[in-house]
Structure 1
Amino acid sequence: MLYTGKTLSLQALSNGQVELVLDAQGAAVNALNSVMVTELREAVQLLAQASNVTGLLVSSAKSAFVVGADVTEFQGFFAHSDAELTQWLLDTQAVFSQLENLPFPTVAAVNGLALGGGFELALACDLRVLNAKGKVGLPEVTLGLCPGWGGTVRLSRLIGVDNALAWALTGKPTAAAKALEQGAVDRVAAEGQLRETALAVLQAALVGELDYQAKRQQKQARVTLTADALAALHTSQTAKLDKNYPAPAQIAGMICQHARLPFAEALQVEAECFTRLARTDAASSLLGLFFNDQVLKKKTKAWRKQAAPVKQSAVLGAGIMGGGVAYQSALFGIPMLMKDINEAALNLGSTTIQKLLDRQVQKGAMSAEKEAAVLAAVKPTLDYSDFASVDLVVEAVVENPAIKQRVLAEVEGLVAADAVLTSNTSTISISSLAEGLARPAQFCGMHFFNPVPQMPLVEIIRGKLSSDATIARAVAYADAMGKSPIVVNDCPGFLVNRILFPYFNGFNRLLKDGVDFQRIDQVMEKFGWPMGPAYLADVVGLDTMVHADEVMQAGFPERMGHDGETVIGALRAADCLGQKNGKGFYEYGVDEQGKRFKRPTALAKILNAVNADSDVTDQDIIDRMMIPLCTEAVRCLDDGIVDTAAEVDMGLILGLGFPRFRGGALRYLDTVGLAAFADSVSAHAVHGGLYTLPAGVKARLASASSFY
């Protein structure tokens, strides 16, 4: 053994060849943290000084090569000055450059994933061999950052500026075949043949069959494109970028800038771009989401450890939601009984599943064999004859407490004694639904969001009597279905709807003050929401909106009541249901040319009597919409509806489409600053109880603390 560290080792092979094995002790994966970088520096220096080494193989002892930089270290580095942060990047670049300039060929044997810093390390080697199922990429843009260890410099020279821009701006990993075609890797090895193939490539470089020096020079040479060609590329790549996310535009500018520069200057440009992006609010928010996601995963893992598995599930109600739940369960290999009371309802559920599958097959995302397997895993039924083997039931019937209680009590007597019952209600108290059950400890809420296949969040609602074993099984089932579960304590609206409906309350108040709903939609979409509140109300369904709003008013009358009838209520009374029947705030249809349209309805314009002399500014609209949402988010945390700020914000991101670059309501408050937020709340106090500062904000102001 030539060198042994905590994260890597140098081992002698035959004929003067050496293998650098990446294997972080006590970790499931390799991540480029400060320890690995330090040890890599020491190992490379040893190799540079060795006189008898003829070639180097870089490999991993883990199931993946390197999954990226250790993001958990970023916050510490980001606390440094700009000059210190840039120097940290340049120091690591220097290690990679020293590896790249060793006086013998180097080959990276890339297994599984090589992402971010891991791929940058592979790029520093002369040649790369990737296993057939492996993927490589530069995902830093998804964190609001750019590569900082030479990734964009080497890649743009290897595969061309146009291809490198596509890789860096999307952040999506690239599969082996495409990586080979574009030149990012030099060989693709058949499964089980990576090491042998990589050693053969190294041998070919040693005997001159592969010109590794030419590859090395290519990565360090200036790009031959003209300034005009680069400018055209930049324009085409940035024309449709979302300006709320600064990273893609800056990455595009950075790559086009350094393409014609000498290698060392290009590396400097990349490092400086990383430092600039590290200072943006978007990067702070997106990194925060990464850490919040880790919180959810850790909590889910803890619940799964104590959960009994779900081998057979059932859904009661074969409507759009029931069909979606059945599809999702079967898709992930958990058989599903789909029960309803008549053939027409079952046919609707089966049709929903078939359409979802057909769409996947048409896109090439699913094979015909997989489609057949999913269909076979769903058994439509009109009776309970097979329910004795069911481990977990999802009740998804009409949103009516009496009907739900009757159905739940009925099925409880027909399943095994240890089976878990859940309700897919979005508004009805889980504790109240449990009152008619013989085994209330084995009942909880399991609130899926519509459409089920697209929406990642599932709220697992703990009633007053729900046991830990019940919650654990529901969490484990949601996780097994590919969803992100968050455990929520029972209250009106649970977590997401409790926070959402104050937002709509602010919307209704703006409408009453004569602010045009189309203008509100435009302002809030510019703020970052995927759709404005009027459009969102139509998508949810105005009947659903009115029902849920009534629940929220009953639960929190002191702040969620209205002054007279709302515009949403008036539209509902006129049978405007939104997209369900093609008319709401907007009307939906297909024109004579077959193109879909969305245009404001005449009734909505009449009900929303616009005050042309209104002095409400765009910032007023943002404040009056966001204050109720944010204050309720604080109250949910302080009331213990969930345990952490991370769960509040992830619930909004995953369940509502809260702007990711703002990181969630509580991250948004930290970014705005609690003192500035308090001033804004005070300025709008005239608008009612939702515009009062929660105790939790006051306490944090007094202690000079924040949510994160």
Structure 2
Amino acid sequence: MSEQVTLTRDGEIAVVTVNNPPVNALGTAVRQGLVAAMEQIDADDAIKAAIIIGEGRTYPAGADIREFGKPPQPPALFEVCTRIEETTKPVIAAIHGTALGGGLEISLGAHYRIADPKGRVGLPEVLIGVMPGAGGTIRLPRIAGIGKALDIMVSGRQVGAPEALELGILDRLAETDLLDDAKTFARELIAEGAGPRKTSDRTEGLGTEEENATALQAARDGIVKKARGLYAPAKMVDSMEYSLSHSLHDASIFERDAFMSCLGTPQQQGLNHAFFAERASAKVPENGRAQPRPLNKIGVIGGGTMGAGITVAALNAGLEVTMVERNAEAIANGQKNVEKVYDRDVTKGRKTEAQKTAIMDRYTPSTNYTDLSDADLIIEAVFENMDVKREVFSTLDKVAKPGAVLASNTSYLNIDEIASATARPESVIGLHFFSPANIMRLLEIVIPTKAADDAIATGFALAKAMKKVPVRAGLCDGFIGNRILAKYMSAAAFMVEDGASPYAIDAALVKFGYPMGIHAMGDLAGLDIGWSNRKNNAAKRNNQDRYNGTIADRICENGWFGQKTGKGWYVYAEGDRRGTPNPDIDAIIASARADLGITPRDFSEEEVIRRYLAAMVNEGARVLEEGIALKPSDIDVTFLFGYGFPRYRGGPMKYADMYGLDNLLTDLREFEKEDPRFWKPAQLLIDMVERGESFDDLNKRAMA
């Protein structure tokens, strides 16, 4: 067939094997080989049934990303799927690993499907801003139903083999060896005289014409509405609807046209960038220079919200964890914090009691630091105070084994200063988890001055084990995320002082694509945290800089810290997580403006977004300028996974590219007239505009 596709015989059964490592991507040679295999199967009367299977670790896992952006080569994937379906002998897809996107569409083109029980299927094209284009919207609803099919496509989730069997996507699960069981399945079909069963002709997932129309309308009103701001989900529904009343040929063309209409849209560019940025974040120099140290058992200092979250993340990664707290009461609370996560999982049916017990068997609570003497990695998650953290690290230095990595979960503090409390600064790194640590995927891996490459590589290995998205961050106040956050929070604070409503700012940000506005986020995190930081940094603040906390300080002085106190920028009734505007805020704002001598003015929604993003991107450029971030896409990943930046916009630096860096610089020059210190453009940004460069150009150079 080709080097990537081979056909072998076992009696009356043809076995078509795809071998295109590492993930058997459906490149041109694979597509051509599959078509050639079907031609040979049809032409050989001795062949009564066929199996398509992948060599190595997976069934074809999707399109070949090496072909992205290149002129398409025949045959198109939808033509391959149709050719498989038109084969005159029964064809079985034997799935292991992940059959995603085009991989699942190939298997839907087959007449029958069997999978390894650990296999997964899905149509995740939405994650890069497109939709299935090779029959997914035509064939999947016919067996799984319109609602279930759309849920799979709009979420982009991977469906485990047992669920896929329940949905009718699979016909059976393998019980022993996948290929052997697929051959047994084929022999049964031959013995029964069962011929091809075209998925495109099946209707068991569908209802009456009226029921289908109702399901499609429900999809438009529900699933698609939830995918706020996304273009592809509505196109999926259009394609499904069209396929119900047209031939496979016409429906395939319609689907392909809908797929093509997604390409090149701003959100497709943003989502595609986000997809590859996430995968590029772990490509750092230290991983290329050193192997990680052993990582089997870890210690966690602290059992509060953050310490418990880190512990759960480590337990979920299969690691042994010893948690240390200062006394019996504190460690009992720490253990409760861990157990309640798994109790919730049991209550919701995500885990059994036996699974919870097996996990907790790897957890050891302690009040004695010496119980950490055999830990490979120890993570400190105590109060954000330098003296407290230095005391912890001084103690760890005495009890930790040689070679153990010592990590601080600090959000802002200087890790060099923390490391200086030990005699092993080369083994100290920062691991900035985001709360709740067992759910949030971002992990900033902060590199202090003396950290060894293998210690840094161990941080990245932990991120991989925990299935987190790691970002390498240099040493500065706030690292990447919180440093930039402070800047755009200031921009929002100044807009409120100058006349903008905090609620109008939040509404503009939600419309832009954020899950919540900056003031609602402050209430969620706790306004007292920012208040404490402002007081701690008061002595370091330059008096020439405009102060950003005038209004927020007054809110905190009333004891209003947000959701934890039931009142902040918003008021929260019991059980209410969204809140309503605090009626007392207007008076506080008016008083602050009067004291500052500010005559308020109006801010349009468009200006709010321009200022917010300009402050964010300008500080991002400074972070790059100083080497705190290795590449712009790392800043994008930080804000996509840690701060709620809308994924379909790609991240702040990608958004700036699409907005136009020259336009961004023009905005900064305009704002600079009113506050030359705060709005001064980063020199990197000025230089890039002069050279006609984009942040994507910097990404390409960093990855070269």
User: TM-score scaled by structure 2?
Assistant: 0.91
CA contact 2:282–2:470 (8 Å) conserved in 1 = no
> Match for residue 632 of structure 1?
619
Secondary structure of residue in 2 paired with 1:9:
strand
* 1:494 Cα deviation from its structure 2 partner: 0.5
Deviations 1:87-143 (A, max 9, x none): x68733223222222232222222232111011111111222223332222111222
Deviation by residue 1:229-265 (Cα, 9 ceiling, x = unmatched) = 4443232112233331111112112211222111110
Q: List aligned pairs for 1:269-668, cutoff 5 A.
A: 269-299=254-284, 302=287, 306-549=291-534, 557=542, 561-563=545-547, 565-590=549-574, 598-609=579-590, 614-668=601-655
Deviation at 1:485, TM superposition (A): 2.3
Of 201, 209, 229, which residue of structure 2 is paired with 1:218? 201
Distance change >3 Å, CA 477–CA 197, structure 1 → 2: closer
Q: CA deviation at 1:499?
A: 1.0
**Residues 303, 475 of structure 1: 8 Å contact kept:** no
* Matching of residues 9-158 of structure 1 within 5 Å: 9-15=6-12, 17-24=13-20, 27-50=21-44, 52-77=46-71, 91-158=76-143
Comparing 132-141 with 488-497, greater Cα deviation is found at 132-141
Q: CA deviation at 1:397?
A: 1.9
1:255 aligns with 2:240: yes
**Aligned position for 1:236:** 218
> Which segment is superposed worse, 325-334 or 624-633?
325-334
Structure 1 residues 390 and 258: CA distance shift in structure 2, 3 A: same
Partners of 1:220 and 1:89 lie apart in 2 by 30
Which residue number in structure 2 is paired with residue 8 of structure 1? 5
For residue 543 of structure 1, report the CA deviation from its aligned partner.
Answer: 1.9
Q: 1:354 and 1:345, CA in 2 relative to 1: closer, same or farther beyond 3 A?
A: same
Structure 2 unmatched ranges of 5 or more: 697-704
Q: Is the CA contact 1:589–1:597 (under 8 Å) kept in the aligned structure 2?
A: no
Q: Quickly say closer, same or farther: Cα 1:582–1:162, change in 2 above 3 A.
A: closer
Is 2:256 the counterpart of 1:245? no
Query: Which of 203-212 and 286-295 deviates more?
Result: 203-212
- Choose which of 660, 669, 679 in structure 2 pairs with 1:673: 660
Per the TM alignment, residue 269 of structure 1 is displaced from its structure 2 partner at its CA by 0.5
Query: Matches of 1:435 and 1:676 in 2, distance apart?
Result: 45
- Answer whether contact 1:300 1:485 (CA < 8 A) is retained: no
Counterpart in the other structure of 1:80: none
Secondary structure of 1:369's aligned partner = helix
Aligned to 1:698: 686
| Contact 2:499 2:601 (C-alpha < 8 Å) held by counterparts | yes
Aligned partner of residue 68 in structure 2, secondary structure: helix
CA contact (8 A) 2:78 2:134 kept: yes
Distance 2:578 2:408 in 1: 36
Q: Distance in 1 between matches of 2:372 and 2:626?
A: 38
SS class of match (2:432): strand
- The Cα shift of 1:224 comes to 7.8
Deviation string 1:406-461 (CA, Å, 9 cap, x unpaired) is 22112212222322222111111112223333222221212111111111112121
Q: After superposition, what is the alpha-carbon deviation per residue over 1:357-387, rounded to whole angstroms, capped at 9, x for unaligned?
A: 1111112122212222333323222222323
SS at match of 1:147: coil
| C-alpha distance in 2 between matches for 1:150 and 1:459 | 40
Q: Provide Cα deviations, 1:1-36, integer angstroms capped at 9, x if missing partner.
A: xx4x23111112213x32111111xx2321112221
Question: Does the aligned pair in 1 maintain the 2:53–2:94 contact within 8 Å?
Answer: yes
* TM superposition shift of 1:630: 1.1
Letter aligned with residue 511 of structure 2:
K
In the alignment, residue 37 of structure 1 is paired with which amino acid? R
Give 2:589's aligned amino acid.
N
SS at match of 2:472: strand
Residues 1:220 and 1:342: Cα distance change in structure 2 (over 3 Å): closer
**How far apart in 2 are the matches of 1:120 and 1:300?**
38
Instruction: Give the letter aligned to residue 105 of structure 2.
Output: E
- For 1:481, the aligned partner's letter is M
Shift, 1:612, TM fit: 11
Cα drift, residue 193 of structure 1 = 4.0
RMSD: 2.8
Q: Which amino acid aligns with 1:237?
A: A
In structure 2, do the counterparts of structure 1 residues 204 and 14 end up closer, same or farther at CA, with 3 Å as the change threshold? same
The answer for the alignment partner of 1:196 in structure 2 is 180
SS at match of 1:629: helix
Task: Name the CA distance, whole Å, in 2 between partners of 1:441 and 1:216.
Answer: 59
Distance (whole Å) between structure 2 residues aligned to residue 93 and residue 697 of structure 1: 44
* Whole-angstrom CA distance in 1 between matches of 2:234 and 2:537: 42
Q: Shift of the alpha carbon at 1:300?
A: 9.6
Superposition TM-score, scaled by structure 1 size: 0.90
State the SS of the aligned residue for 1:413: helix
TM-fit CA distance, 1:168: 2.4
Moved more, 580-589 or 89-98: 89-98
Alpha-carbon spacing, 1:525–1:553, altered in 2? closer, same or farther (3 Å):
farther
Distance 1:209 1:446, change over 3 A: same
Check whether the contact 2:53–2:95 (CA below 8 A) recurs between aligned residues: yes
Q: Deviations over 1:615-672 (max 9, x none)?
A: 3110011112111111111211221112122211111111212111111111111111
Deviations 1:662-703 (A, max 9, x none): 111111111112122222223322453342322222222222
SS at match of 2:349: coil
8 Å contact from structure 1 (residues 136, 174) kept in 2:
yes
Q: 1:564 to 1:501 in 2, by over 3 A?
A: closer
Q: Is the 8 A contact 1:458 1:478 kept in 2?
A: yes
CA shift in 2, pair 1:177/1:370, >3 Å: closer
- One-letter amino acid of the counterpart of residue 579, structure 1: Q
Quote the offset at 1:548 in angstroms. Answer: 3.9
**8 Å contact kept, 1:503–1:628:** yes
Gaps of 5+ in 1: 78-84
| Residues 154, 227 of structure 2: 8 Å contact kept | no
1:423/1:168 CA distance change after superposition, 3 Å: closer
Q: Is the 8 A contact 2:278 2:637 kept in 1?
A: yes
Aligned to 2:157: 172
- 8 A contact 1:327–1:378 mirrored in 2: no
Q: 1:512 to 1:472 in 2, by over 3 A?
A: same
Which SS does the other structure have where 1:589 is aligned? coil
In structure 2, the CA distance between the partners of 1:315 and 1:182, relative to structure 1 (3 Å rule), is closer
Mean Cα deviation higher: 299-308 or 411-420: 299-308
- Measure the CA separation in 1 of the matches of 2:59 and 2:275: 21
Q: In 1, are the aligned partners of 2:306 and 2:437 still within 8 Å (CA)?
A: yes
SS at match of 1:11: strand
Flag the 1:487–1:553 CA change in 2: closer, same or farther, 3 A. farther
CA distance in 1, matches of 2:227, 2:145: 24
DSSP 3-state at the match of 2:61: coil
